Amino acid sequence: MDIKRLLNIILYVLNKIDEASKTKLLKLMFFADFEHAERYNKPILWTKYFRLENGPAPSYLLDIINTSIGKSNYANEKDVQRFEEVIKIEFRKVFDTNATFLKPLREPDLDDISESEKEVLDYVIGRYGHFNAKQLSKATHNHEAWKKKTDDKRLKYSDVITDNKKKKYFQIWEEDFEAIYDNC
């Protein structure tokens, strides 16, 4: 994954909404990624998604954030360092839960984000940006990719592609990606 591009996409979202909880950011990225795949037959992040208790999350972004806050060590150390250089992490109590909040430390490099990606990110921010993490988690459970049950608990981009030729391309790509990812 291109960490520079990923960080610029995150910065784009965070600069639009000022800050987000970890869960909120992950859900917004899910909606944007699958919306872009549905509209333009290609996702924004090209990453794996799993069915987690609070809904789907982009796997590598979750790894980076969790490594940064000391909950795991799955992400590349250099990627985590670059993340921490551009994203401020704060911890706050929200109701009875300790929550992780993310704030941008700079503006994004817009050269890393296509016009169609900006369009979809803006659409998702407009539609879901006012939701809190709990509302977003609930909303992800209504998404068609979430509703399609799989044995491996993965959500697949091909689940939202309606064009049969392009759907087949995504299915082949997902199989190849799975083989590469599992061997890392």
Judge whether 45 and 113 are in contact, CB under 8 Å.
no
Phi, psi torsion values for 45, nearest 5 degrees: -95, -25
pLDDT tens track for 32-89: 999 999 898 889 998 989 888 889 999 999 999 999 999 988 889 999 999 999 999 9
pLDDT tens track for 102-144: 999 999 999 999 999 999 999 999 999 999 999 999 999 999 8
Give the separation between CA 27 and CA 23, rounded to whole angstroms: 6
Structure tokens at 18: 């000022």
Q: Where are the domains of the chain?
A: 3-182
pLDDT of residue 166 exceeding 80, the answer is no
Question: What is the side-by-side order of every strand in the sheet holding 49-50?
Answer: 57-58, 49-50, 154-155
